[in-house]
A and B are shown apart, each in its own frame.
Chain A
């Protein structure tokens, strides 16, 4: 039974990646014709079959989005907190994601500072907890540099930027995952120390550096 559930969730995730993120209407279905999981999905009203093609229904999209979110949060957790070796991330996450229930998902998301992308750069759909992110009680493990306290040290967990120019500036400074940063000042600009160098950067750049407090 457990395996059946996992299979269903994996299928939903695949369909999400192909149809929603790949922006195609439907996915080829011929290989999966006799799969039990597909039949389940159809009977649950999550999937529609048209001309040998599979597509997600609205309810299916909602469910798939949640699965994707759990999967990518699990990946982040493995990389950022357990510092898992890269090739194991996918396998471990694949098992782990199915164990995450709703409350656990919120806690993980909060601990990680509400990440917006997975370690591979794909978007994590936001959950309800991401919206009211400012007033929380749970202590974060990973947070944007902007939320680190002054005089505290953090290790860069990842860079959250789609802007190549900004990324190149980060590379120029040497702000890369695993680099240790000492935050010296936040206003009027952020001042950080890495090794023997000090850099000043603006708020926008500081918000794109996610650190793990050490």
Chain B
């Protein structure tokens, strides 16, 4: 980059003089030109500082002296002074070679304005969530497609064949259980991941890629920033949060993009607690499908917990309020190729990430049952489960829920199909399960991203809150004699 060489006066010159002095000290073996390295040093770029420190440690103190000298001339940081000069230079060039024509407002800009308008924007958001998330992912993906795959293909054709074949191949009962038993690798692990989770996640990522490709997400971020500020986050956190509706594990990884430790912690906690992942969402929507009142209550309760816990943490955690800005790209029609590529890479990544975990979960359940360790854990869970008014069979669902959140939800689904739950119990169970401990993958991700101390505390916290909220919900339903 070339900065304009004519100087206005002694102060304006000092930047160029300092840069010249720094350039004179640097050797030629950097991947960038000496001028570029010098400019980045003036702007106190940490990566470049480390690079020079490593390559030419002897000159660093010299450079620091030059920089502190030039800093004394300016009230604003040097990067600001450089930005001003760079902008002037850009403007000078542009004015010579570019002519700007006034263009008329396109339809896209009108839709964009509607999306960002608070009065039209929130109903629009609701419509997008209703049709995209509920109708498309929930009803069609998790309902119709999963129903067809699971009932018509897996349960009707594949499972009987698998059970027969492996029972014949493996004579030992214990190993039969591992492979094709009630929680077997093929009958449960593979079935859940291929016939249940895969289609739901695929539909979610399709939905996500569409709203991502249109440029809707930054508009959503801008709409939600004020609300998110109350819970210690900024509008930018909307991306991991929406992603959390697909896979909270992946979303926890994406919290890295948030600028402060405080925001990352709050986001991790809310993802663990109150953002149901698509697999869970699919099953929960299917469960509550027949009880519209219960579904509204469930959504309301989860939203309240989300806002309340977020609000409290933001109050309790010290730290600066995040500041927010985001570029709003022009709206455009989604590009089919982009959407398919994005969905394909995400589903592929996801599938290979979770398949081993599902299989591992099957093995662990098998081991747990074999050693009777699970019986003990289920026994321990029975107390809190019955305390919130659920049948004690639900204890198993919660335990399995830890191995994968959606496992638990799917277990609940089986319980419901067996006709073991009333409407009230269904609501309480869904609330507890949504808030309950993250799945084993998200748990490990929490430890990895936030450190074991914080990760563990977050997980314990969700456990306590899940049962506490479920307890209160049950109490309210019971005392007011509400039956859903």
Which residues from chain A sit less than 8 Å from chain B, CB to CB? 85-87, 117, 120-122, 163-169, 171-174, 176-179, 184-185, 187-189, 191, 197-202, 204-205
Contact = CB atoms under 8 A, between A and B. Distances in A.
A1 to B, nearest CB: 33
B324 interface: yes
A173 B76 CA distance: 17
Interface in B78-95: 79-80, 83-84, 87
A188 B221 CA distance: 10
Given A121-B76, A189-B235, A200 B9 contact: no
A209 to B, nearest CB: 11
Given A171-B79, A201-B324, A177 B84 contact: yes
Interface string B437-474: 00000000000000000000000000000000000000
How would you classify the secondary structure of chain B's contact residues: helix, strand, loop or mixed? helix
Contact of A188 (B79, B223, B328, B329): B223
A169 B83 CA distance: 12
B418 interface: no
B12 interface: yes
A85 B11 CA distance: 13
B416 to A, nearest CB: 40
A120 B222 CA distance: 33
A202 B229 contact: yes
Nearest to A86: B8
Given A176-B84, A200-B218, A169 B327 contact: no
B165 interface: no
B323 A169 contact: yes
Contacts of B118: 187-188
Given A188-B118, A189-B235, A200 B325 contact: yes
B323 A188 contact: no
B75 interface: yes
Interface residue tally of chain B, by bracket? 35 or more
A166 to B, nearest CB: 6
B84 A198 contact: no
A200 B328 contact: yes
B152 interface: no
A191 B117 CA distance: 11
Contacts of B325: 169, 172-173, 199-202, 205
A174 B84 CA distance: 9
A185 B222 CA distance: 11
Contacts of A164: 77
B342 interface: no
Given A171-B83, A191-B222, A202-B229, A120 B327 contact: no
B431 interface: no
A189 B235 CA distance: 10
A178 B87 CA distance: 10
A199 B326 CA distance: 6
Contacts of A185: 113, 116-117
B321 interface: yes
A202 B234 contact: yes
A121 B75 contact: yes
Contacts of B87: 174, 176, 178-179
Interface in B327-383: 327-329
A189 B225 contact: yes
Contacts of A121: 75-76
B27 interface: no
A87 B324 contact: no
B97 to A, nearest CB: 15
Contact of A205 (B77, B218, B324, B328): B324
Contact of B323 (A85, A120, A204): A204
Interface string B111-141: 0010011100000000000000000000000
Given A171-B79, A191-B328, A202 B9 contact: no
Nearest to A200: B222
B149 to A, nearest CB: 41
A87 B328 contact: no
B328 A199 contact: yes
B315 interface: no
A94 to B, nearest CB: 16
Contacts of B234: 202
B226 interface: yes
B116 A86 contact: no
Contacts of A184: 113
Contact of A189 (B80, B113, B226): B226
A120 B225 contact: no
B11 to A, nearest CB: 8
Given A185-B116, A200-B325, A205-B324, A85 B8 contact: yes
A81 B231 CA distance: 41
A122 B75 contact: yes
Contact of A198 (B223, B224, B229, B328): B328
A202 B221 CA distance: 11
B15 to A, nearest CB: 13
B340 to A, nearest CB: 28
Contacts of B79: 167-168, 171
A151 to B, nearest CB: 11
A87 B323 contact: no
Given A120-B75, A166-B323, A176-B83, A188 B9 contact: no
A200 B76 contact: no
Nearest to B94: A195
Interface in B18-77: 75-77
Contacts of B83: 171, 176
